[in-house]
Amino acid sequence: MQGAQVQFHLRPGGRLTGCIRVPGDKSISHRAVILGSLAEGITEIRGFLAGADTLATRNAFQQMGVPIWGPEKGKLRIQGVGMRGLRPPQAPLDLGNSGTAMRLLCGLLAGQGWEAVLVGDASLSRRPMRRVTDPLVAMGARIQTSAAGTAPLHIYPSSKLKALHYAMPVTSAQVKSALLLAGLYAEGETCITEPGPARDHTERMLEAFGYPVRAEGNRVCIRGGGQLRGCSLAVPADISSAAFFLVGASIAPGSDLRLEGVGMNPTRTGILHILRQMGADIRIERERESGGEPIADLRVRSAPLHGIEIPPALVPLAIDEFPAIFIAAACAEGETILRGAEELRVKESDRLQVMAEGLSELGIANQLYADGIRIQGGELGGGVVDSHGDHRIAMAFAMAALRAQAPIRIRDCANVNTSFPDFAALASKTGLAIQQIP
């Protein structure tokens, strides 16, 4: 089935009600497979996201000789091979659409001492990789990119990596995580300093696997030469997937929806702060912890929203959720302004450009900046939106139908399976009038 053939057809109106659990966190699922594969002993993962991206990571480690069973009903079992037990793959590792998998594996494989090639689909092959490969080369890695600094990535054997003290020019959890994974194999202590807060799932999970991490403010350090111990962990529901339902229930009159077991890592909760500043009615209930990660149930009810100027400090804490936030802005009274989000231009699509085009198609006035967008809230019409194969674009515009005056058709939706298998079925269950074609 070609990706462009998968479409969402949506009838206008409706409301979201009930109690649901969205799929497991994609970022945590990736890291659980990586660290479980390197650990000594068995690792059992519950709540694993069986999406195309995370399955690409699982497949890559199976190609490198790691016994992995599942996922079956969200459960994955890994027989770790230890820090030096990975075997050279016999073919290039195809990571599909997953930038997380490619960047993290680039860091990990830089220290293995054998050759590997990382490839991806057309979208992933356009995404910048030098932000990862340049600091890895400074550690002694030998990595070749395309002339444009993109995949395929050829990783060649190198002598022992040396520790690096690196000040990141731009906040990026993927870059930080790649360098930490390389640091596991480096001589000495590798330290990364970020210009602002970024996701800390890798640090939390390293500690869950028994590997010491030293964190001081925006600086995190790791010393090479240690070991990981297999463990049992539960993956929380993905707040990035919950984001679409948080927005949908906020904008659709009469909505009252509960989302169970959502990950509440403070480096990921920017969307909650932004929506609440816009006037959303979101309650945090049953706060608890699982596998070193905070989780909670979220209850969201419809509320009138108003436009805001998004605080710069919240931008990195909501970077993946902005397509959904833009739909909230389209339904809000007044203007919403986002700046300092140039990172959105190098995601699965240029999310600023693609969202601007889709909003314009639905009759919402907007002004595009190099690093952001200004959105004037208004009345959503109907129309045909091209998601450009970006899963978050497709799901965001699906929720726009709740306030649209006419049907919406969204093209090129196959990649929704990278992060949210069965999105259409779950959204339909809550009240969204969605049909997936074919």
Which residues are tagged catalytic?
A: 320
Quote the CA–CA distance of 180 and 192 in Å, as a whole number: 8
Beginning with the edge strand found earlier in the chain, give each strand of the sheet holding 40-46 in spatial order: 68-72, 75-81, 40-46, 232-234
Residue 229 · residue 40 · CB < 8 Å: yes
Give the integer Cα–Cα distance in Å for 248 and 328.
Answer: 8
Instruction: Please state, in angstroms and rounded to a whole number, the distance separating the CA atoms of residues 121 and 106.
Output: 16
The Cα-based distances of 347 to 176, 377, 431 in angstroms read 17, 25, 29
Q: Tell the burial category of 369 from Cβ atoms under 10 Å away from its Cβ (0-12, 13-18, 19+).
A: middle
Three-state DSSP state, 39: coil
Tell me the angle at which helices 173-183 and 99-109 cross, rounded to the nearest 10 degrees.
20
DSSP secondary structure string for all residues of 193-236? E-SS----HHHHHHHHTT---EEETTEEEEESS---B--EEEPP
Distance, in Å, from the CA atom of 249 to the CA atom of 275, rounded to the nearest integer, reads 11
Parallel, antiparallel, or unpaired for β 383-386 and 142-144? unpaired
Identify which of 319, 283, 296 has the alpha carbon closest to the alpha carbon of residue 237: 296
Beta bridge partners of 93: 118
Output phi, psi for 88, to 5 deg. -60, 130
Residue 156, classed as helix, strand or coil, is strand
Q: Identity (one letter) of the amino acid at 48?
A: F
Q: Residue 201: what are its φ and ψ, rounded to 5°?
A: -60, -40
How many whole angstroms separate alpha carbon 175 and alpha carbon 204? 16
For residue 369, what are the β-bridge partners? 372
Q: Which of 409, 413, 400, 423 is nearest to 349 (CA)?
A: 413
